[in-house]
Amino acid sequence: MHTFMFCCSVNIHVTLWTKNASYYTYITCVTCMCVMF
């Protein structure tokens, strides 16, 4: 769970540079969750 939150946190910071931050963050969080479980 900690890894999942860390992954999302990092990608939120990264996607702040883009216009589709929410989209990329959502996809990345889902992907991380799938990888973790």
Tell me which amino acid residue 30 is: V
Distance separating alpha carbons of residues 27 and 6, to the nearest angstrom? 15
Per-residue pLDDT of the chain (37 residues; tens, 9 = 90+): 455 556 666 665 655 555 565 666 677 767 766 565 5
pLDDT value for 12: 59
pLDDT value for 7: 63
pLDDT value for 14: 59
Residue showing tokens 């910071």: 13
